[in-house]
């Protein structure tokens, strides 16, 4: 496998400096995006409570209901905005927290509904994916000083520990019925990926290292599955954690559980694995296995996914031989590509990752950023034209917003804690630009 990007023959010195990692022009470019996102999304709260799904212009689409995971993501984003001093962010964080303690919370059975309709009807079931984001949002709200942040975090961890964490397996289960009486046999890695992110965030925010250890247990199994599958990560499993490589063959472009391998998830896991290794181990020899695994995942993802059909961009999914299945380009995959290329460069010092960062940044600027309307387009087709079959509108800010900050902060630390530490030192970026 190769991880050498194609700059169409352009030498690094000829690349626009706004795309070069560590360059002042790139830092300013990313900072402008950071605050642009905060401006774009500030109208997210609904009158009912919770975050609406944002349209192309930042208005709310009531047809999408009030999604708990979007409420959590926006609470997390504006908690970081509050730490950055963005005007009004603290009030927006508190409105998110109030919704998570109010209309989105199941007072009868505990936990959180996946969503509530515009008319107030809760969606059935209880999902790990949703609850992982509640944990993330609560930890960030606590760091931002929200008066109810700690209480929400305590509630979220209590529910997660009781119903979703399987300590025997060292993995999280996926979906319960509404009353937490029947567990669905499906097991999935998307929920475990965001559980890993949430566990690392909790460990960084609270000092409770048992959550970092949990993240490591998940990561060890993901590495094993990927290593035995040519570094393409199986996503879907049965109740015995046997991989189901044919899952969703009839619904290949599913928002959360697509068929086949997802290069964007390989890239995202690579960053989380690197973050875990850097935060968990002091010795380079102890980190090496994890960093090497992260490099393999990144290499496989970009070899399979980048310009795989002749046009720039990362395809959404491939089959198990690395052939594109869903050719659309999702914005979150490029956001994670920015995060991971910069993180691997910080961890290894290898110039190829800085080169990839420039490639990804150029693509984002040319195709994903809506320079007139704000935020990023969420879905492009194989020819990089804007579409909305899977992700209509610009639902939330989470992935793209984080990608403007992670490259300029400590790669060993979850982003909300890193920003809090950095701003405590009188800066909005931690350490030296890489």
N residues, the chain: 434
Query: Do residues 321 and 230 make contact, with C-beta atoms less than 8 angstroms apart?
Result: no
Radius of gyration of the chain (CA): 20
Which one, of 148, 134, 22, lies nearest residue 95 by Cα? Answer: 148
What is the residue-wise DSSP string for 340-392? HHHHHHHHH--HHHHHHHHHHHHHIIIIIB-TTT-SB-SEE-TTS-B--SSS-
Alpha carbons 390 and 328: distance in angstroms, whole number: 9
Scanning 109-208, the segments in alpha helix (DSSP H) are 128-143, 149-159, 189-206
SS3 310: coil
Query: Do residues 99 and 158 make contact, with C-beta atoms less than 8 angstroms apart?
Result: no
What is the residue-wise DSSP string for 167-182? TTTTEE--EE-TTS--
Phi, psi (degrees; rounded to nearest 5) at 416 = -65, -45
Alpha carbons 267 and 298: distance in angstroms, whole number: 5
* Active-site amino acid positions: 265, 399
Alpha carbons 394 and 339: distance in angstroms, whole number: 20
């Amino acid at each position: 496998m190769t991880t050498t990007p194609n700059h169409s023959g352009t030498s690094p010195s000829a690349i626009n400096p706004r795309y070069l990692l560590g360059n002042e022009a790139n830092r300013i470019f990313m900072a402008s995006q950071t605050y642009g996102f905060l401006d774009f999304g500030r109208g997210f709260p609904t009158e009912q409570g919770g975050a609406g799904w944002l349209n192309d212009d930042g208005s709310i689409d009531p047809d999408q209901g009030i999604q708990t995971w979007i409420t959590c993501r926006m609470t997390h984003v504006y908690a970081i905005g509050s730490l950055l001093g963005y005007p009004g962010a603290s009030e927006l964080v508190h409105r998110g927290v109030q919704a998570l303690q109010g209309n989105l919370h199941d007072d009868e059975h505990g936990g959180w509904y996946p969503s509530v309709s515009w008319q107030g009807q809760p969606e059935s079931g209880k999902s790990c994916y949703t609850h992982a984001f509640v944990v993330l949002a609560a930890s960030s709200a606590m760091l931002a000083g929200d008066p109810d942040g700690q209480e929400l975090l305590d509630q979220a961890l209590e529910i997660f520990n009781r119903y979703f964490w399987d300590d025997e397996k060292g993995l999280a289960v996926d979906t319960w019925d509404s009353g937490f009486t029947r567990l669905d046999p499906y097991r999935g890695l998307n929920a475990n990926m965001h559980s890993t992110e949430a566990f690392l965030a909790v460990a960084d925010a609270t000092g409770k290292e048992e959550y970092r250890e949990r993240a490591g247990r998940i990561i060890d199994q993901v590495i094993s599955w990927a290593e035995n599958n040519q570094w393409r990560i199986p996503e879907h499993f049965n109740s015995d954690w046997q991989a189901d490589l044919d899952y969703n063959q009839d619904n290949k472009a599913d928002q959360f559980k697509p068929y086949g391998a997802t290069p964007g998830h390989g890239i995202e896991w690579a960053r989380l694995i690197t973050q875990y290794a850097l935060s968990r181990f002091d010795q380079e020899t102890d980190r090496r296995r994890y960093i090497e695994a992260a490099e393999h995942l990144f290499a496989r993802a970009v070899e399979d996914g980048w310009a795989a059909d002749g046009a720039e961009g990362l395809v959404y999914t491939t089959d198990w031989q690395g052939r594109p299945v869903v050719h659309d380009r999702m914005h979150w995959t490029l956001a994670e590509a920015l995060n991971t290329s910069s993180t691997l460069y910080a961890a290894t010092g290898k110039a190829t990752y800085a080169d990839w960062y420039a490639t990804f940044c150029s693509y984002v600027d040319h195709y994903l950023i809506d320079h007139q309307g704000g935020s990023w387009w969420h879905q492009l087709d194989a020819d990089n034209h804007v579409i909305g079959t899977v992700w209509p509108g610009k639902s939330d800010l989470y992935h793209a917003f984080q990608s403007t900050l992670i490259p300029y902060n400590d790669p060993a630390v979850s982003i909300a804690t890193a920003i809090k530490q950095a701003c405590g030192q009188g800066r909005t970026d931690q350490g030296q630009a890489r």
